Structure 1
Amino acid sequence: MKIWTVANQKGGVGKTTTTVTLGALLAQKGYRVMLVDTDPHASLSYYFGVDSEELSGSVYDVFTAGSNLSSDTVLDALCPTKLDSLFLLPATMALATLDRSMGTQSGMGLLLKKALHLVESEFDYVLIDCPPVLGVLMVNALAACEQILVPVQTEYLALKGLDRMMRTLEIMRGNQSGEYQFTIVPTMYDKRTKAALESYQRLKQTYGDKVWNGVIPVDTRFRDASQALTPPPVYCPKSRGVIAYERLLTSIEQ
């Protein structure tokens, strides 16, 4: 089972769109895929029309199960999607309380990793959507994976936010026993604007081969897909945005 985490300490850069689109593309290729929503705002959950406040289980149960944590904790909370092999582990607003209630407890940073290990025979891929805040949830998501995708909007303020994320990854790298890979993914690229071009060039100059050699363009079809509560590869498979994500998937699967 491969685990990818989609993270950035800035909101609005395309984390949820990246998670949904890559997950759906993998499911269309025949893989069993689980999407994990670790953001208390639950954007990923709402994308699929799931209101976890009305469900009996969510990813919150993983963090609060304690010694009762089992594969059923995860599997019983899963929600189906419009793709047969794509499943969602939804978020709940209660996640926002974890830093205060459990953040200082020993071992809290590895709970998600332990939970996913319990179901590794059930899935080929797990994609984790992170909140834009460094805390227990992001630490768990980063510690659980071997591949990190960092979507970055191609505009000046987003690049400034990326600096914070890179510092976080350096800290995590120092605490990890094993190595993990990360890829910076330029998103919302508008080739008509000078600002987008300059931002992309600065990304390449600063981070070199850590930046994916491509861009995710601005695509209004993504907005239409989210309003239809349908992953873009299902809603608009030939759109330029989906085609760009197909190229990204090919590059990170190599």
Structure 2
Amino acid sequence: MIVWTVANQKGGVGKTTTTVTLGGILAERGKRVLLIDTDPHASLTYYFGIDSEELDNSVFDLFVKRNSMNKEQLLQMLCPTSIDNMDILPATMALATLDRRMGNQGGMGLVLKKAINMLEDEYDYALIDCPPVLGVLMVNALAACERILVPVQTEFLALKGLERMMRTLFLMAKSQKKHYKYTIVPTMFDKRTRASLEAYKELKKVYGDDVWSSVIPVDTKFRDASLEQLVPSMYAPKSRGVFAYNSLLTFVSELDD
């Protein structure tokens, strides 16, 4: 199973849109896809019309039952989506209490990785949507993946948020003696505005080849697709946003071959 984590310590940069769109394209290509929502706001979960507060289990239970969880229990926690080949491990608001309740306990950093390993034969891809906060959940998501996708809105406040994310990756790599592979993905790009053009230029100047050479454009079809609870590639397959994500998927897949 190939595991990608979508992360940034700034909200509103397109993390959930990136997770949903890439997952949808992979599922349409016949891949078995697992989406994992680790954000207490549960935007990814609600995207598919799932009210996680009414569910018996969620990602939170992985941590509560981390010493006793088996594959059968884990499979029962998964929710099907309306998309063929795509399931989701949902989030709940209880995740917001995780650091306070269990953050200092031992063995918390690899809970998600161990769960994903149990599902190795069930899926081809797992995509993890992260909260915009450094804590147990983000640490788990980063430790569980082969590559990190870092969506960054092409405006200057978002660039400051990216600095924090890069610092986090550096510190975690140093402490864990692990090299993180990552790709910075410029999002919400509007070629009509000077702000987007200048922000993209600054991204390339500072981060060079770590920045994907193309961009995800502003596209209202993303919002329309979410209203219909459909992945964008099903709702508007010929939209410029979906075209861009197809290109991103090809690029990242070739990097990891």
Output the TM-score relative to the length of structure 2. 0.97
Q: Deviations over 1:135-183 (max 9, x none)?
A: 0000000011010000000001000110000000001211335433100
Which structure 2 residues correspond to residues 171-210 of structure 1 after superposition, within 5 A?
Answer: 171-210=171-210
Distance in 2 of aligned mates of 1:3 and 1:172:
18
Read off the aligned partner of 1:147 and give its amino acid letter: R
Q: Contact conserved, 1:74 with 1:89, CA < 8 A, in 2?
A: no
By how many angstroms is 1:38 displaced?
0.2
Paired residue secondary structure (1:109): coil
Partner of 1:241: 241
Unaligned residue ranges in structure 2 (runs of 5+): none
Which structure 2 residues correspond to residues 147-158 of structure 1 after superposition, within 5 A?
Answer: 147-158=147-158
Which structure 2 residues correspond to residues 1-254 of structure 1 after superposition, within 5 A?
Answer: 1-254=1-254
Distance in 2 of aligned mates of 1:133 and 1:39:
9
Distance in 2 of aligned mates of 1:88 and 1:75:
10
Q: Contact conserved, 2:169 with 2:180, CA < 8 A, in 1?
A: no
Read off the aligned partner of 1:149 and give its amino acid letter: L
Unaligned residue ranges in structure 1 (runs of 5+): none
Q: Deviations over 1:212-254 (max 9, x none)?
A: 0100000001000011111101111110000000000000000
Once superposed, what is the RMSD of the aligned Cα atoms? 0.9
Distance in 2 of aligned mates of 1:160 and 1:99:
25
Q: Deviations over 1:17-51 (max 9, x none)?
A: 00000001111111100000000000000100111
Distance in 2 of aligned mates of 1:73 and 1:38:
18
Q: Contact conserved, 1:45 with 1:88, CA < 8 A, in 2?
A: yes
What's the % identity of the aligned pairs? 67
Q: Contact conserved, 1:62 with 1:73, CA < 8 A, in 2?
A: no
Distance in 2 of aligned mates of 1:90 and 1:185:
25
By how many angstroms is 1:70 displaced?
1.2
Paired residue secondary structure (2:3): strand
Question: Post-superposition, which runs of at least 4 consecutive aligned residues in structure 1 deviate over 2 A?
Answer: 175-180
Q: Contact conserved, 2:186 with 2:214, CA < 8 A, in 1?
A: yes
The count of corresponding residues between Structure 1 and Structure 2 is: 254
Read off the aligned partner of 1:146 and give its amino acid letter: E
